């Protein structure tokens, strides 16, 4: 019998439930006990900012609870959908992932600014026991990401490997994934139509959660950003050089699910496979809110994205900052685009990185 979302607050209290009393050592023990694997994906190239981001969180992780998936395979870039498909496949096989119950995935250009708050978010994800994955919505919350308001962007994301294993076999997952992909052919069915055919109650739940969270993020954006939007919104509206999506509407959603990102297919298959919904992070464009730091020393463009921990007692803590466009970062810029992104990311490194 599947758990209702309202059931997670009815559990008996246990000592680990009081996250506010956790020490660094207790957190490490808890990571081992809960079988959590921290994963990142990178080319690890010299002259990049990979290590400065990795060091914002790697020291908190027991060595056996960390893995790096190299960003090149068979002379081709290996990231995104390839990485998450590998995580699921290895979870459903007798490989190294089979001994873990959860994954916390962190992109190589994602800076963890408050590891304790990240652990509180991860603890809630596990404690609720009703989600398959978690992350920021890929539409409606960041000014330049105008894609799905139901699917997540994976730069910081949680993956419920335990629920995936309990749902079925690798063959059943692949069959379901291929079924969703096939329905994007001649006789097109949207992912939501497929969910509605298989589990209408889940579709209603997902739609409600997504819409309510988008509304909540709009209110938070009004509180966090001057005028309710970041400066980069002007670029989003008026950038004719964006060949993929010129002249977007900031904070909009193109559709509810869609297939803009290849990894959406993995997320969609997991929703159907596990019968569990997606949890959304509190997210917003990043802008400096510390009056003691000069705006000249930080990236206040609004292009970088922030994840927040916003608790029931109205605690608002910056958890992570994601730079985007990390492939444009170089110690030796050869054009204006590389130069501007490198300068912008260097400000993030200066403010949050560990060298």
Residues in the chain: 355
Q: 277-280 and 131-135 as β-strands: parallel, antiparallel, unpaired?
A: parallel
What's the confidence (pLDDT) of residue 3? 43
Domain residue ranges in the chain:
23-352
Least confidently predicted of 7-11, 202-206, 237-241? 7-11
What's the confidence (pLDDT) of residue 94? 83
Least confidently predicted of 11-20, 112-121, 195-204, 235-244? 11-20
| Whether the Cβ atoms of residue 94 and residue 85 lie closer than 8 Å to each other | no
pLDDT, the chain, mean: 88
Residue 183 has pLDDT above 90, yes or no: no
DSSP 8-class letter at 265: H
Rounded to 5 degrees, φ, ψ at 179 are -65, -45
What are 329-344's pLDDT values in tens digits? 888 889 998 899 999 9
Which one, of 119, 105, 25, 15, lies nearest residue 69 by Cα?
Answer: 105
What are 105-160's pLDDT values in tens digits? 999 999 999 999 999 999 999 999 999 999 999 999 999 999 999 999 999 999 99
Q: How far apart are CA 256 and CA 288, in angstroms?
A: 31
What are 261-318's pLDDT values in tens digits? 999 999 999 999 999 999 999 999 999 887 788 878 899 999 999 999 987 666 789 9
Q: How far apart are CA 67 and CA 40, in angstroms?
A: 7
DSSP 8-class letter at 102: E
What's the confidence (pLDDT) of residue 314? 61
Q: How far apart are CA 91 and CA 132, in angstroms?
A: 13
Q: How far apart are CA 248 and CA 144, in angstroms?
A: 8
At 42 the three-state DSSP class reads strand
């Amino acid at each position: 019998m599947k758990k209702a979302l309202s059931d997670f607050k009815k559990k008996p209290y246990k000592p680990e439930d009081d996250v506010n009393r956790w020490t660094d050592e207790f957190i490490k023990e808890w990571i081992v006990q809960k079988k959590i694997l921290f994963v990142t994906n990178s080319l690890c190239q010299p002259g990049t900012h990979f290590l400065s981001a990795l060091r914002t969180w790697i020291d908190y992780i027991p060595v056996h609870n960390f893995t790096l998936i190299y960003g090149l395979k068979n002379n081709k870039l290996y990231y995104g959908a390839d990485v998450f498909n590998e995580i699921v496949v290895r979870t459903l096989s007798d490989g190294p992932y089979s001994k873990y119950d959860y994954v916390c995935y962190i992109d190589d250009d994602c800076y963890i600014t408050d590891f304790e708050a990240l652990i509180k978010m991860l603890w809630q994800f596990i404690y609720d026991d009703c989600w398959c994955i978690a992350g920021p919505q890929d539409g409606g919350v960041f000014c330049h990401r105008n894609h799905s308001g139901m699917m997540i962007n994976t730069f910081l994301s949680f993956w419920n490997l335990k629920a995936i294993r309990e749902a079925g076999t690798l063959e059943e997952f692949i069959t379901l994934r291929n079924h969703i992909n096939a329905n994007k052919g001649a006789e097109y069915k949207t992912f939501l139509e497929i969910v509605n055919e298989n589990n209408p109650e889940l579709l209603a739940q997902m739609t409600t959660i997504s819409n309510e969270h988008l509304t909540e993020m709009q209110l938070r954006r009004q509180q966090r950003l001057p005028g309710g939007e970041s400066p980069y919104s002007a670029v989003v509206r008026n950038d004719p050089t964006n060949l993929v999506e010129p002249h977007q509407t900031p904070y909009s959603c193109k559709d509810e699910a869609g297939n803009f990102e290849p990894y959406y297919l993995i997320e969609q298959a997991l929703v159907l496979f596990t019968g569990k919904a997606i949890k959304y992070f509190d997210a917003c464009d990043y802008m400096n809110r510390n009056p003691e730091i000069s705006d000249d020393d930080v990236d206040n463009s609004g292009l970088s994205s922030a994840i927040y921990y916003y608790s029931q007692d109205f605690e608002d803590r910056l958890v992570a900052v994601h730079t985007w466009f990390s492939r444009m970062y170089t110690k030796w810029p050869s054009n204006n685009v590389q130069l501007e992104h490198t300068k912008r990311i260097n400000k993030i490194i200066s403010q949050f990185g560990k060298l």
